[in-house]
Structure 1
Amino acid sequence: MPRRRPPMTPPRRGPRPLPLHLGLALLRGMGAVLSLDPVSGMPLSPASPSWSGAWPVSRAGRQEMQRIAGALAAGGHPPEQFRAAVLRRLARQDRALIAGLAAYRRHPARRRAPSLPVLWQEGDSRLLDYGGEGPPLLVVPSLVNRAYVMDLAPGHSMLRALAEGGAAGGGSRVLLLDWGWPDEAARGFTLTDYIAGRLERALAAPALRPLGPVALLGYCMGGLLALAAALRRPERLRGLALLATPWDFHAGGGEAQARALALAALLPGLEPVLEAHGTLPVDLIQTLFAGLDPWGVAAKFRAFAAMDPASERAHLFVALEDWLNDGVPLAAPVAREALGGWYGRNETAALRWRVAGAAVDPAALALPSFVAVPGADRIVPPASAMALAARLPGPRVLPVPAGHIGMAAGGRAEAVLWRPLREWLAGL
């Protein structure tokens, strides 16, 4: 009898949205070509009227092109050699990008989700129990990404590390609020519904009562939700930890403020989608994130093409990309509050953000607090998170030499975040 073939693993869809990232890579290449004089093949002068058309080439890239062109001219090489060299390099980069995308999409690694006890559930939101022998810690993730970034893979799980403790103990009873997918009811939720509703009801779950006061930990957007809940229900808590949590969305002015206002300006154009779907869809959220670093996705997949697919580094890359592409849509009212209120009007820093009618003011927090500020964060600029630390009364502030995701799941996360966070929790 012929041997039956094992079922094929379906290819991945990411990086999402794929046409956007391919289009950005094409745009970057076109920009490089447009920055060359069509007659001589040499880089155009910055004074040239066509120079502004080459915006996808960075300032450093244009300076490098000028330097190489000068060296070619000094060596007596024909100018058309420079154009040919640019085109060859673009072709190599395009081949590397396609190879990296193909290697990722066919990589055999897949997440094997652990089965965890569910202590409470409402709609698609669940309170998951990661165990541990210490005092309770309830972790609140963002609404726009899957919660398992903090339990990404063996050796890269902040939740399991906090539950187990270190060599000197200090573990916690770790509980994760997995928001899940917004069901039909949740599509009409505001931030008040999530905070004064689901989050507070999770805190009041009967299974938590015997455990005593809870430490609350919020990550990114989840930090703002956790902060508002802590201000409303301090009697249920023993401390508040905020990781990469934004506060002043216009901090520092300049580029950061311009980017925030640009995001808010997109809201009127997104209204037809919000009305039709009741949510801001995943691919649109991914498109907004891509605007933070338009060329970053192509660069990292070119680098992935050169990795050993069996290496730990490649497996971590795949795990992170799978998580990034496994997004969650955002309820339309929350999208309006976040884009218009937070990014546009900076209501948090202006103390005009209200939950259930009450202003959210960190200065009123009567709990010990911990603020982790990643120094290489593109999503939450350090100045935005430091503004929150400055408003809180006497927080423990930890500068973290990592990025937004690296602080939670990167190779150095144990040393730069998990260990000091665990020590702070043990000292509550």
Structure 2
Amino acid sequence: MGEADAQAASGKPRLGPRPLMLHLGLAQMIWSGSSAAWPSWSSGLQNLPPSLRSEEEALRLELARGADAPASLASALDRQIRKRRGELLDGITAYRGHAYRRNLADPPALWAEGTARLLDYGGEGPAVLLVPSLINRGYILDLSESCSLARWLSGQGFRVFLMDWGAPGDSERAFTLTDYVAGYLEAALDALHRETQTKPLLLGYCMGGLLALALAQRRPGDLSALALLATPWDFHTAPGQAALGRAALATWGSLMDIIGELPVDILQALFALVDPMATVRKFRHFAKLDQDSAQAHAFVALEDWLNDGVPLAAPVARECLGGWYAVNSAREGRWRLAGRPVDPRTVELPCLCIVPSEDRIVPPESALCLARALPDCAIHRPRAGHIGMVASRGARTRVWEPLRDWMREKAVS
């Protein structure tokens, strides 16, 4: 049971969006910056970037037409900030008290060790092993009755299994990525083989795609094909990633040494810095929805999942932040698992890379770098975001159905 499910069972109000004070503080800082910048700009003491020069000149011409325009615009700016702040708080309040609660029961576990489980969703046909990220809980692939890739695939002619990593326990806090892949993931694959006597399709999502890639390199003879959804490879395609990795380790490395993990709220804070106003935009929108609508319920379901993350074991966090982000170890051939470089060029399986065009978490060029390195790889580029590709109203037609069709073609019975 995740933290969100536990809160639902206890009837306690939600705690998100996490970390709440960071989201509120970022919003207030940006809004205050707008108010503070206005006097100097209107006085001609500050210019906008060259890309906005034409809009700046048009605005100055418009202001010059009225003697009281600067004062009027300043008042309008203040009103707009207060309006947006109120909408944000209304949205957060509505979310925290919303009646929706996830009530899906987990399917039985075929295999379990430590905090990890292999969940068996049943179905008839070729086996599929779904591998989610270590950071967020795996039920993003089983979010609700109306939005579950795992349950949908089990009804589309596949026997579906989902790797549920759980939160790190006493043993897992000492784990590296090698322990997760060569230990838990390979043991789960062995259990799947014993159960089905088949070579499964392997599907990895986001960070789970990197783990799936490593497994495919180690066990190609035990798999039929590899699908990677929004899986990063070149971590330096977006500016600031190296600095982010180094700064995070410098700031939180000592804490990780003490407690053995990188806490959830720090991970959430790092994601928030990718788009500081994303939370403001989505909660302002949520405040305007009919709270009994399917759209509002879908928002709450997804937000509950986002706020139900798990910490990263300290050694794993160091590999990710200090390796993938700081020095681009995956792209540069320096990421090793069980002593062997993880190299997509050696993966001898038919592959599919799904690269959503509107992904802000994994820049499309980062995922395309991996797709181009795989010897036998088809590429599908849906119009979707990082999470929307598996949990949105358009996910079924844009992502799920093309994925299903490709898997039917590549499956080995």
TM-score by length of 2: 0.93
Q: How does 1:12-411 map to 2 (within 5 A)?
A: 12-37=14-39, 43-45=42-44, 47-48=45-46, 67=58, 70-165=61-156, 171-205=157-191, 208-251=194-237, 256-411=238-393
TM superposition shift of 1:264: 2.7
Per-residue CA deviations over 1:215-267 (Å, capped at 9, x if unaligned) read: 1110000000000011101121111110000011113xxxx142343233321
Q: Residue 261 of structure 2 aligns to which amino acid in structure 1? A: T
Q: Report the alpha carbon displacement of residue 115 of structure 1 after superposing the two structures with TM.
A: 3.4
Contact kept in structure 1, 2:241 and 2:326, CA below 8 Å: no
Contact 1:153 1:319 in 2 (8 A): yes
Structure 1 residue aligned with 2:11: 9
In structure 2, what residue type is equivalent to 1:32? Answer: S
Q: In structure 2, how many angstroms separate the alpha carbons of the residues matched to 1:316 and 1:65?
A: 39
Between the aligned partners of 2:63 and 2:98, the Cα distance in structure 1 is: 42
Q: 1:65 to 1:19 in 2, by over 3 A?
A: farther
AA aligned to 1:281 is P
Q: Structure 2: any 5+ residue segments left out of the alignment? A: 1-8
Aligned partners of 2:42 and 2:70 also within 8 Å: no
Partner of 2:381: helix, strand, or coil?
Answer: strand
CA distance in 1, matches of 2:55, 2:296: 30
Note the alpha carbon deviations across 1:42-85, whole angstroms, 9 max, x for none: 7353x53xx79xx9xxx86x987875564343144353222111
Contact 2:235–2:241 at 8 Å: present in 1 too?
A: no
Gaps spanning 5+ residues in structure 1: where? 1-6, 166-170
Two-structure CA RMSD over aligned residues (Å): 2.1
Deviates more, 1:257-266 or 1:345-354: 257-266
CA deviations over 1:113-140 (Å, ceiling 9, x no partner): 3231110000111000111101100000
Tell me, yes or no, if the aligned pair for 2:104 and 2:145 is still in contact at 8 Å. Answer: no
Q: Which amino acid in the other structure matches residue 123 of structure 1?
A: G
Contact 2:234/2:366, CA 8 A, preserved across alignment: yes
Q: For residues 163 and 342 of structure 2, what CA distance do their matches in structure 1 show? A: 21
The number of residues matched between the two structures is 402
Letter matched to residue 124 of structure 1: T
Cα distance in 1 for residues equivalent to 2:60 and 2:141 = 47
Q: Name the amino acid aligned to 1:43.
A: S
Once the two structures are TM-superposed, the CA of residue 385 in structure 1 deviates from its matched residue by: 0.3
Q: Distance in 2 between matches of 1:352 and 1:225?
A: 15
What is the DSSP-based 3-state SS (H/G/I as helix, E as strand, rest coil) of the residue aligned with 2:355?
A: strand
Match in the other structure for 1:4:
none
Comparing 264-273 with 20-29, which one deviates more in the overlay?
264-273
Which letter maps to 1:325?
A: N
CA–CA distance in structure 1, aligned partners of residues 174 and 54 of structure 2: 50
Checking the alignment, whether the CA contact within 8 Å between 2:349 and 2:376 is kept in structure 1 is no
Take 2:145 and 2:60, find their aligned partners in 1: how far apart are those partners?
49
Residue by residue over 1:100-123, the C-alpha shift from the partner in whole angstroms, topping out at 9 and shown as x without a partner, is 110111110011132311100001
Offset, 1:371 = 0.6
Residues 231 and 364 in structure 1, CA contact (< 8 A), matched pair in contact too: yes
1:353 positional shift: 1.0
Q: Would the alpha carbon gap of residues 65 and 301 (structure 1) be closer, same or farther in structure 2, given more than 3 Å must change?
A: farther
Q: Secondary structure at the match of 1:205?
A: helix
Classify 1:240/1:74 alpha carbon distance in 2 versus 1 (closer, same or farther; 3 Å). same
Please tell me whether the aligned partners of residues 140 and 177 of structure 1 are also in contact (alpha carbons under 8 angstroms).
yes
For the structure 1 residues 338 and 216, does the alpha-carbon distance in structure 2 shift closer, same or farther, using more than 3 Å as the test? same
Whole-angstrom distance in 1 between the partners of 2:269 and 2:57? 32
Structure 2: distance between partners of 1:211 and 1:399: 33
Which of 27-36 and 14-23 deviates more?
27-36
Q: Percent identity?
A: 49
For the Cα contact (< 8 Å) 1:280–1:332, is it kept in 2?
A: yes
3-state DSSP of counterpart to 2:119? strand
Whether 1:419 aligns to 2:407 is: no
What is the distance in 2 between the residues matched to 1:307 and 1:361?
A: 46
